[in-house]
Structures are given as C-alpha cells and as structure tokens.
Structure 1
Amino acid sequence: MGKVAKGNRMMRMAGLVTGAALAMMPVALWTGPAMARAGAATGSAAGSAGRSEADKAFEALSTDEYAWRQQQAGPSEDGPRDRKIMLPDLGPQAQAARLARWEKVEQQLAAIRQDRLSPANRINFAVYKGQIDALLAAQRYRDYEKPFNADTSFWGELADWARTPFRDRDAADAYLEMLREIPRYYDQQIVNMRAGLARGFSAPHVTLTGRDKGIEMVVQAASPEASPFYEPFKNLPATIPAADQEALRAQAREAITKDVVPAHARLLAFMRGEYEKGARQTLAAYALPDGQAYYRSKINEFVTLDKSPEEIHQIGLSEMARIRGQMDAVMKQVGFKGDLKAFLHFLRTDPQFYPKTPNELLYRAAWIAKTFDGKASQFFGRMPRSRFAIKPVPDDVAPFYTGGRGGPGIYLVNTYNLPSRPFYSQIALTLHESAPGHAMQMPLAAENTDLPAFRRDSYLSAYGEGWALYCEALGEDMGMYETPYDRFGMLSYQAWRASRLVVDTGIHAMGWTREQAQQYLRDNTALSDHEIETEVDRYISWPGQALAYYMGELTFLDARHKAEKALGPKFNIRAFHDAVLEMGAVPLPLIDQRVDQLIRDGGKGPYPDEE
C-alpha cells in the first residue's frame, strides 16, 4: 500500500518528481555507479577537473536548494533523531518565500545548458527538475491549505514520529523543543485550513468521519504519561544519567500539559465545528478551484507520464478485463461452481480464510518474509544492509488505515477488524510492503552514496509503488504463492490497483459517486467491505495518488519483457533487478532508458561481481 513515510508527506515537502522535466531532457546514455563516482554525484569534489561549467552550476544550485528544502520540512516518523528538528513555519510570509525560491530555481535551471552536462548529471537534472516542478505546482495551488487526507494527516505524522526511541540527550532536548512548538504549528495549520474552506479547497466532507480520532486520543489521555507524545520518555537510553532522565520526563509532562494537549483541543474543536460544517460536499478534484488543471498536475506528479484522465481510465478497463480472465482460470482450478460474484462472496465470508487473533496474522507475515529471505539470492544480487521489524498498526489510526504499510526498518500489519484481513492476500501484501518491496527498495536507494542526496532521500510514488506492485507479481516467479487461493489473492490485489485507474479518474474527472466507486471494487476484487470503504475514501481525498501503482508496475513489466526479448539467454533476472533498483526513485521513462543501457551492455548488471 505504500511506505510508512511515503507519498505526499506534507510536513516534509518531500521531493516528488514529475515527468515534466523529461520533455526538455536531451537524449542521454545511462551511466552506472562507476561514472557517478567519477564526479557526477552532486557536491562531490571527485573528478572536478572534468566537470563542465554547466555541471558545476547545476550541482551548486541543487545542493544549496536541497539543503534549504530540508530545513523547511518537519519531522517524519522515520526521520533522524540526532539533529535539531523544528516544525516548519507555515505562515504567509514563509509560504511566499518558498514560492519565490522555487520560482527562482526554475529560472536558474532554464539557464543551464543540459547538453553540456555530464551523462550522469543529465539524469540528475531530469529528476531534480521534476521535483521542483512538483513543489512549485503544489505551492501555486496552495496545497498547504488542505494539509491532510483520509490516509495521512499532520497530527498523525507527529504522533507516529513520537513512537521512535531517542538516540541520545540531544535528540530528547530537540524533541522537547518540538513539543513546545506544536501550538504555533497547529494554529498556523488552522489558519491555512480556514483559508482553504473560504475558497472551496477542503477535504470532502464525506471523508472526515473518524479522521479526528487521533486528535481526540491526545486530548482525552488520562495523564501526560498516557499521551502518545510521552512514549519515547518511557525508555530513555542508558547514556543519559538517571537524574537527567527524571528531569527530561518532568519537562515532557509539562510540555504535554501546557502545550500539546491545549493545541490538540483547539484543533479538535476546529475540526468538529468549523471544518466539518464548511467542508465541501463534492468529491471530484474537478470541483476544486481550477480543478481540471489541478487534477492534471496531480497526474503528472504521481504518474510522471503525460497522460489524460481518459487515457488512464481506458488502460484500467483493459487491464481489468485481462486480469478477470486469470481470475476465471483460478476459479476453474479450485473447482468452484458459480460466477465471480459468488466466488468473491465465498472468499469474504468463509472463516477458513481469516485469522482469529492478531498474533496469527503477525506470525504469518513474519513467516512469509522469512520465506522470501531464502529465495532472495536467486533474484537479487545486491541487498540492503537495513533490516525491518514487523509490528501492528497503532490503535489510533488502525480503523481507517490500510491493510499494511512498509518502509525503511518497518512493516506495519493492520490487526484491526480481523474479519477484513484475509490470509489469501497476505503473501502479496508482504511482498509489497516488506522485502523485496518498500522495506528493501527504499533502503537500497538511501544506501547508494553514488546518488546525490536529493535522489537518495526522495520518494516517487510511480517508481516506489510500481516496484512494490511488480514484486507482488514477481511472487509467482519466486514460487511464493502456496495455494490457488493465495494466487487469487495476488490477482485480486492486481485487480485492485488496476481498478484504481478506473475509480480515481471516474471520481475526479467523470462524475462518479462514492457508492459507484465502492461497487466497482466490490464487483472486481476480493477486498473486504471495510477495506473497500477506507480505500475509496482515500482516493476521494487524495486525487491522483492511486494512479501511481499500476502505471508504475506496467512500466517495470514492459521493461523486463523488453530486456528478456532483446537479450534472450543472456537475460539475468538478478542483473535486471539490480539495474532498475540502483537508480533510486526516478520518473518512469528513465526506467526504459536504463533497460536500454542494460541491453547495450549485453545484460551485464551494474555491479562488478555480477554474472
């Protein structure tokens, strides 16, 4: 479903990439780690004598802006704890300054001669230019006036971030300073949301039910120690003396009482009063101010391809028909007598397919992840150093959270409402969210020091979600699906993501109702009713993001088929996977370029020890 800190992480203003930069990018040969080490990595002094003035200008510009961009962002739940982190200024002057800075960067990029960049920096330029395009579009449309959706919220981000232990005393002090900043930060969010309400730029009213539960839990906590914001103080590192630990805990209790709880109380009153009363009754992005252009900007951001809603809708219908044929074959394999609707009802209601306890679900996820570990070396030549834990989704978000979510160091499994968490979907879910999906792909990018920081740190939905969905299908090659029902669960997940192309464009560009979208998923996937309801609300409140998954997967599949056909017996699945993963998150057309280079190299992967 996506990484823990993924997508449009609003507080961090994450480096999102669009395909807009590709139209201006000169044709470039792909260069691997060796070329990058020769001086293409931004900010590196290596190979400086061979760098052009264009290279130097681009590297100086991107390095300076990216360092500034990081200062603008707030904490994330997987962010570092060893530096001072302040919540960003969201006031009008700060927003105007961001707009001005990115407009200036846009002008500076236009002045750089791309044909004089090194081959590696042409790739870096395309990725970086896409990030600036996305940031500028979000700033111009004032996305900060709608700072949450049915999936992600600024208050939930802070609560998530609070669950990670401190590394040292400095991290604890920085966290306390952040707690004291929450009133200012939340008050600025309220001002911005109020401005959004005034111009009809709000979350749809129908998606608001229950989304304020996390705020309420903070307000109603029985004591400061019961607050989620106190969590990291329960087990402070032994490097902090006992007396200092008690002093830190006292400061935490004071900050939670005087700052955190009142700020959440004001936010809760605003959300349940002014915001609920004023939130728009419409669903479509097209109904927002300048809605058609806004939705198209989201397609560019999340898909990184120049596609219209109508084109994407048609691709979804075509793929759904193809997957439906594969589903029919599985039904025949298990000897089911009846149509798809009857089979889906059987899957949704038969107790054999559902866990009885949370641990049963968690233990199965762990077993699946370890089963992949035994197969990994056959399919991947380079594995990340980072490992991941498997934990349940926190109670405050579980009722409207996805079935699972993964990222660096973590695979969250939703144990809420067990009758909606079928076993037959869990292999596909685990391959997507843990390894070789998000919990593997993202650390590989972060650990690749041949990439500039703005590529190591950023997340691009079309690439990241496309890769994770490709990993679900890869489970067939790896022999992961133990029963026909497991395979049907994978096909249902494929249909779910293909149906998003139909549903997201249907809602936002074609006038579909919430009930129409829910019924389409109910008719075409094995998702439970609870999952269908939470998913549709997510699509309604987060225009375009749901398109990234299947459009990205199609790109990875097409690239693999192209390489297999061109290389024949020289095709090496390990080399292919290493080649597309070493890039980090890039716009989809660059995947095709990378595979073209793999073909020119005779199928040889990016690492010297690879056969």
Structure 2
Amino acid sequence: MRKLVLQTLAAGALLATAPLSPLLAQKATGKGKAAPAKVETTASAATSAPLHALFAAYWEDNARLFPLEATAEGDNRYNDQLPNDQTRAFRQQERQFYQQYLTRVQQLDRRKLSAEDQVSYDVFRYQLEMALEGLQQPFWMMPFGQTGGLPQLLAQYGSGTGAQPFKTTKDYDNWLGRVHGFTAWTDSAIANFRAGMRTGVVLPKVLVVKMIPQLEAMVVADAGKSMFYGPIAKLPEAVPAADRARLTTAYQQAVLTELVPAYQKLATFLKNEYLPKARTTSGYGDLPGGAAAYRYAVKEATTTSKTPDEIYQTGLSEVKRLRTEMERVKNEVGFQGDLPAFFAYMKTDPNFRPYKTPQEVLGGFEAIHQRMAPNLKKLFGRTPKTPFEVRQTEAYRAASASAQYVPGAPDGSRAGIFYVPILDATQYNVTALPPMEDVFLHEAIPGHHYQIMLQYENTALPEFRRFGGSGAFVEGWALYCESLGKELGLYTDPYQYVGSLGGEMHRAIRLVVDVGLHAKGMTREAAIKYMMDNEVITEQLATAEIERYMGNPGQALSYKTGQLKILEWRARYQKQLGSKFDLRAFHDELLAGGALPLDVAERRMDAWAARQRQAPPK
C-alpha cells in the first residue's frame, strides 16, 4: 500500500500504482531535525495510545508483507525475501490485511482524538479503503509494463547502486535469497498475463513491443556482463577473503541459472504468446471493466471526487491559458511565425543544444543548482540533511525513461538521486521537454528532494505517513515548485521562461490526453499529435510520454490537480492574512504536514491560516 518509495517520482515516473498517503504534523527545525514533541495531557495520551499502537502494529505487518518496500525505507530485516505477489493467495492476504486494520480503526472514537491524531486517523482510513477498492480492479492481469514493475525494479535493487545494501557478507547472502524467489514470481506473472488474455484484459501491442527488448537486455551468456554482477565487481573490504570466492561463484550461478532464464522466459512468452493477443486500442475504456477501473485510477491519483470529464475540461482551459502566454513571449522576442513554428525553432536551433557529452549535461544541472542556491533560504526555513546527486539514467532503461527522482535513505546514508536520461548529449535540448531549469525545480530542489526527504527525516511521524504519500500532493508540490523559478533567480531569459511554460503546458496536456485516451476514445497517434501541437517536444519524447499514460492510467492527472490546489491555497492565505502572510512559513507548514490527500491537507492548512490570523503582529 505504501508505494511512494518504489515508484519513481518524476517528470516521467516508473509504472506502478500512483503513490498513496502521508504524514503527521510534527514540525521540523533547522536542517531537517525533528522538533520536540508536544507534551500531551494525560487524557489526550490515553485516547491517543490505542491509535498509535494500531499504527505501530500495522507498520510491522506491512513491512513483512512488502519487504522490498521495507528495504527501500531502510528497514533491513527482510532483505532476503521476495514474496510472490502475483498469486491469488497473496491478493487474498492483502485483502484480509487491509480489512482487518480498517475494522480496527473504525472501532476507535475519532471525536476523542487530538486534532493531529484526527488527521492520522483520516489518512489511515482513506488509504485502507482505497487499497481495498484497488484490489477489486483488473490490474493484476497486467503484472508489469514498459515503464516499471518487478523485472525493472529487481535490476535496480540488484545492481549494487540502489536501495539494497551490499556492505557485508550477510547483505550479499540476503540478495541471493531474493533472487531465489524471482523464478516463481515469473511463472505466476505469466499465468496472470494468460488470465488477462482469456478475459480480454491485455496491454496494448505498442507497449509490449517495448517490453521485450528490455527483458532481452538482461539475457547474457557471461555473468560478468550482467548488471546483477555489479555487487561482485565492487566487493567491499568488509567481506572477508574466505567469503569472496563463495559469493563470486554463487552470484555467477544466480545470474546464469536463475535470473537469465527468468528474463528469457518472460521475453519469449511476451514475444511468441502475448504479443499476438495484445490489443490495438490505446485506453482502459476498451477493456472489460475498464471504465470503472479508470474512474478508480482517477480517484486514487487526484484524491478528489472530480470526474474524468471535469478534469478534461480543466485541461482544455489550462492549455488555452498557457498558449496565450506563450504567444505573448513569442511576440516579445520578435519571432516571425506562428506558435508551432516557434516550437520547431526551439527544437531544432543548435543554440538550444549546447552539450557534447553526458557529463556536460549533468554539469548543466549542477550550474542551475548553484544559481538558485542563494535564494532558497528566502523561501524555505527547513531543508533536508540528506545528500543529493544527479546521475545519468542507466543505458538499459534510458530509451523508455523520463527524468525521475529516487528518494535517499531515511537516515541520510544514501543520497536522493535525480536521474537524467541522455540518449545523445549532442541532441539534449535545454528548452524542449524536459526544460532543464524546470525539471530540476520539479525533480530535485526544491521539488521532490525537499518534500520527500523532509518527510522521511521526520522521525516523530507515524511510519505509515512518514513513508507514504498522496500522489496529488507529491506531484502537485513538485509542479508548484516549477512556478518558483523566477523567485529563485531562474527563467532569466525569455526562452528559459517559455521552457517553464512548456513544462506546465506538458502537465495541462496530460489532463486532456490521459482522459482522452482512457475515457474518450482518443488514439495513441491523436494523443501524440495533440502533445506535439501544443508544446516544445520531440516526437520520441511525446511517444514515450503518451505510452506511459497508456500503461499507467490516471497517474499523470495528479500533477496539475495538486499544483492548482496549492496555488489556490497560497492566493487564499495571502489575501486572508495580508501582512501576516509569510511565504517561508507557508512552505514550511505545507511540507511539515506531509503528502496528505488534498482535502485533508486543505483542512490542516486552513487551521494554520486561522492561527496566523490570531497571532499578534511581529
């Protein structure tokens, strides 16, 4: 249920369900340090104790049920386990787990809880109800896709550069335990794909075509050339010499006798059996039960009751507004021609492709960081202590990837990583999607890195909220951060500003094409054309984006929905508070609450504004 860690959060995230939910309002001070907890009255502590005990029990059970996620969150007790989540028995276990805790929390009297415990209660109940509703959908018959799932995730864990630790002999043996479970998972995933084939719940052909070479890239004859051999290539000194030969042999055998056959089996199945049965249509609306599944996906992604049609109309309105502003900037720079010609100029003029090597591209992002660093303290009172890095996306998945953020370790021992796919550095366009300044604000600082790591570092929070997150808040915050560019000293020339408008336009377009694909019969080709007609984007990137929405319906709606709500709050409180409004305090309070469902976050922020109104002038 707590999908925040395992999904990449991004201008282009991996496939999976959208992130779920959030955090307690215990503020942090300084560089991400938790503030002292409030002293509760005896009565308050007595009423809180059963709720907190329930949260603690839930988190323990959740770690056992989802050990990969536990690892990503720094809980290493289950690092040797890879449960087969593709079985009917596992889905039934999930259902019983969620229902058990929903029944128990409903037995508590919400009215007797403190205000902050009421927030936790609301979020906990919301997550459980959404998880149970999700299990009623047909998603299980499409176990993974071209932009994510266990085959891709396992490679990230096993490469030696991801969440799975490789520091001691026990760490190395733990990973072998996980590998042993992948063969059974593969067989069950194929069985689920076949169930979908029998009922018509299948992926589009254009996505399956992308999945096959990804799997085939993991098939090697020489174990030393497998990315899963990476940990052996970098055996640390902490591993005794006596264990090195044994582990080397064990990893060679694991690659050649377990991992390679499993990936080969998946690739062969998809190519020979599944691809001929895959569908030629683009959206969920064409699947049995697909309309209801899409309505659920929209509800989960936006944490609102908005209908697909309402979201579609918002998208059309935002596209129109942004096109008007782009026209204004185009005229300001004196470009002769219409907006599509202006886009074509920005895509093709060599001045917008200044790089020759991937390192130069990565250096360009660091330069952006340094330009805005002096202004960050004007907008934020708290920043994370967790380090931050920019890395090039691994070659095996770069062709289907977008820029993305992978959270660091909660204790700061592993940096948060901003991954940048660079297929050809000489063609990396600084203003086309993703525009560099824009994507750094979103994926890195102060977007995902600030929001997620401040949340992770706040140990005063119940774990289910500390490591959870509403997608509409997480992505809404990151998109809101793109609008802070001028306040942070970026967007100083009109072309960079157009790039930022393009970044926002991209998210507005998502409202149109995601709903269009899944609820209005829009084809893949029409969606790609609509995207290219309205923003600075290459056909390759537009295709990757549209195919992402085809495989992960609804998730792309979270960005604009959340951003518009945060902008609404900022404007409302500025008007209400006047001279008492402090932008740093607004940002700090918003992040202190964690990635709440939007209606819960709104109630919490309204209460904050009320306190500000009552506070004496400074």
TM-score by length of 1: 0.90
Task: Supply the distance in 2 between the matched residues of 1:120 and 1:183 (Cα, whole angstroms).
Answer: 45
1:117-163 deviations in Å (ceiling 9; x for gaps): 22111101121122212221221214232222332121000101123
1:560 paired residue number: 570
* Deviation of 1:229 (Å): 1.0
The answer as to whether partners of 1:146 and 1:202 remain within 8 angstroms in 2 is yes
| Structure 1 residues 541 and 10, CA gap change in structure 2 (3 angstroms) | closer
The answer as to whether partners of 2:203 and 2:551 remain within 8 angstroms in 1 is yes
Task: Supply the distance in 2 between the matched residues of 1:233 and 1:12 (Cα, whole angstroms).
Answer: 30
* Deviation of 1:460 (Å): 2.4
Q: Which is further off, 154-163 or 239-248? A: 239-248
Alignment of 1:281-360 (within 5 A): 281-354=280-353, 355-360=355-360
Alignment of 1:425-574 (within 5 A): 425-574=435-584
How many equivalent residue pairs?
Answer: 587
Q: Secondary structure of 2:419's partner? A: strand
* Deviation of 1:551 (Å): 0.4
Residue 447 of structure 2 aligns to which amino acid in structure 1? Answer: G
Q: Which is further off, 279-288 or 474-483? A: 279-288
| Structure 1 residues 475 and 604, CA gap change in structure 2 (3 angstroms) | farther
1:147-200 deviations in Å (ceiling 9; x for gaps): 223321210001011232513222211111111221112222222222222222
* Deviation of 1:451 (Å): 1.4
Task: Supply the distance in 2 between the matched residues of 1:235 and 1:184 (Cα, whole angstroms).
Answer: 29
Residue 580 of structure 1 aligns to which amino acid in structure 2? Answer: L
2:397 paired residue number: 397
2:412 paired residue number: none
Task: Supply the distance in 2 between the matched residues of 1:10 and 1:65 (Cα, whole angstroms).
Answer: 27
1:203 paired residue number: 203
Task: Supply the distance in 1 between the matched residues of 2:251 and 2:600 (Cα, whole angstroms).
Answer: 47
The answer as to whether partners of 1:556 and 1:591 remain within 8 angstroms in 2 is no
* Deviation of 1:535 (Å): 0.2
Q: Secondary structure of 2:378's partner? A: helix
The answer as to whether partners of 1:224 and 1:256 remain within 8 angstroms in 2 is yes
**Unpaired segments ≥5 residues, structure 2:** 29-33, 409-415
1:23 paired residue number: none
Task: Supply the distance in 2 between the matched residues of 1:450 and 1:226 (Cα, whole angstroms).
Answer: 44
1:59-85 deviations in Å (ceiling 9; x for gaps): 333332232222222526945484332
Percent identity between matched residues is 32
The answer as to whether partners of 2:299 and 2:305 remain within 8 angstroms in 1 is yes
1:51 paired residue number: 45
| Structure 1 residues 194 and 52, CA gap change in structure 2 (3 angstroms) | farther
| Structure 1 residues 11 and 211, CA gap change in structure 2 (3 angstroms) | closer
Q: Secondary structure of 2:322's partner? A: helix
1:549-588 deviations in Å (ceiling 9; x for gaps): 0001011111111111112122211111100011111101
Matched, 1:63 2:67: no
Residue 8 of structure 2 aligns to which amino acid in structure 1? Answer: K
Task: Supply the distance in 2 between the matched residues of 1:65 and 1:83 (Cα, whole angstroms).
Answer: 16
Residue 216 of structure 2 aligns to which amino acid in structure 1? Answer: E
The answer as to whether partners of 2:532 and 2:539 remain within 8 angstroms in 1 is yes
1:272 paired residue number: 271
The answer as to whether partners of 2:343 and 2:535 remain within 8 angstroms in 1 is yes
* Deviation of 1:419 (Å): 6.1
Residue 115 of structure 1 aligns to which amino acid in structure 2? Answer: R
1:468-508 deviations in Å (ceiling 9; x for gaps): 11111111222211311111001001000011011111111
Residue 260 of structure 1 aligns to which amino acid in structure 2? Answer: L
1:258 paired residue number: 257
Matched, 1:602 2:596: no
Task: Supply the distance in 1 between the matched residues of 2:14 and 2:493 (Cα, whole angstroms).
Answer: 40
Question: CA-atom RMSD, angstroms?
Answer: 2.7
Task: Supply the distance in 2 between the matched residues of 1:167 and 1:142 (Cα, whole angstroms).
Answer: 40
2:8 paired residue number: 6
Task: Supply the distance in 1 between the matched residues of 2:364 and 2:149 (Cα, whole angstroms).
Answer: 30
Task: Supply the distance in 2 between the matched residues of 1:10 and 1:139 (Cα, whole angstroms).
Answer: 20
The answer as to whether partners of 2:209 and 2:275 remain within 8 angstroms in 1 is no
The answer as to whether partners of 2:375 and 2:487 remain within 8 angstroms in 1 is no
| Structure 1 residues 166 and 269, CA gap change in structure 2 (3 angstroms) | same
1:349-385 deviations in Å (ceiling 9; x for gaps): 1111123322221110111123232222111100111
2:118 paired residue number: 122
Task: Supply the distance in 1 between the matched residues of 2:239 and 2:62 (Cα, whole angstroms).
Answer: 32
Residue 20 of structure 2 aligns to which amino acid in structure 1? Answer: L
Matched, 1:73 2:66: yes
The answer as to whether partners of 2:371 and 2:489 remain within 8 angstroms in 1 is no
Q: Which is further off, 244-253 or 569-578? A: 244-253
Q: Secondary structure of 1:410's partner? A: strand
* Deviation of 1:35 (Å): 11
Q: Secondary structure of 2:395's partner? A: coil
Task: Supply the distance in 2 between the matched residues of 1:187 and 1:284 (Cα, whole angstroms).
Answer: 27
Alignment of 1:572-587 (within 5 A): 572-587=582-597
Residue 84 of structure 1 aligns to which amino acid in structure 2? Answer: Y
Task: Supply the distance in 1 between the matched residues of 2:99 and 2:36 (Cα, whole angstroms).
Answer: 28
2:388 paired residue number: 388
Task: Supply the distance in 2 between the matched residues of 1:515 and 1:194 (Cα, whole angstroms).
Answer: 28
Aligned mate of 1:109, from 105, 114, 137: 105
**Unpaired segments ≥5 residues, structure 1:** 19-28, 40-45, 606-610
Alignment of 1:119-158 (within 5 A): 119-158=115-154
* Deviation of 1:604 (Å): 10
* Deviation of 1:248 (Å): 1.5
Task: Supply the distance in 1 between the matched residues of 2:208 and 2:153 (Cα, whole angstroms).
Answer: 17
| Structure 1 residues 302 and 272, CA gap change in structure 2 (3 angstroms) | same
| Structure 1 residues 275 and 48, CA gap change in structure 2 (3 angstroms) | farther
Matched, 1:415 2:419: no
The answer as to whether partners of 1:159 and 1:228 remain within 8 angstroms in 2 is yes
1:241-285 deviations in Å (ceiling 9; x for gaps): 223223222211111122111111111111112221222332222
| Structure 1 residues 11 and 415, CA gap change in structure 2 (3 angstroms) | closer
The answer as to whether partners of 2:229 and 2:251 remain within 8 angstroms in 1 is yes
The answer as to whether partners of 1:357 and 1:418 remain within 8 angstroms in 2 is yes
* Deviation of 1:387 (Å): 1.2
Task: Supply the distance in 2 between the matched residues of 1:10 and 1:108 (Cα, whole angstroms).
Answer: 33
Task: Supply the distance in 2 between the matched residues of 1:36 and 1:399 (Cα, whole angstroms).
Answer: 47
TM-score by length of 2: 0.89
Task: Supply the distance in 2 between the matched residues of 1:11 and 1:337 (Cα, whole angstroms).
Answer: 41
Aligned mate of 1:16, from 16, 20, 44: 20
* Deviation of 1:58 (Å): 3.1
Q: Secondary structure of 1:210's partner? A: helix
Q: Secondary structure of 2:387's partner? A: coil
1:24-76 deviations in Å (ceiling 9; x for gaps): xxxxx98867999347xxxxxx86753355x4443333332232222222526
Matched, 1:89 2:99: no
1:413-436 deviations in Å (ceiling 9; x for gaps): 111144663112100011111111
Q: Which is further off, 276-285 or 221-230? A: 276-285
Task: Supply the distance in 2 between the matched residues of 1:10 and 1:103 (Cα, whole angstroms).
Answer: 28
Q: Which structure's relative contact order is higher, taking Cα pairs within 8 Å and 6+ residues apart?
A: 2
* Deviation of 1:306 (Å): 0.4
Q: Secondary structure of 1:103's partner? A: helix
The answer as to whether partners of 2:205 and 2:280 remain within 8 angstroms in 1 is yes
The answer as to whether partners of 1:17 and 1:304 remain within 8 angstroms in 2 is no
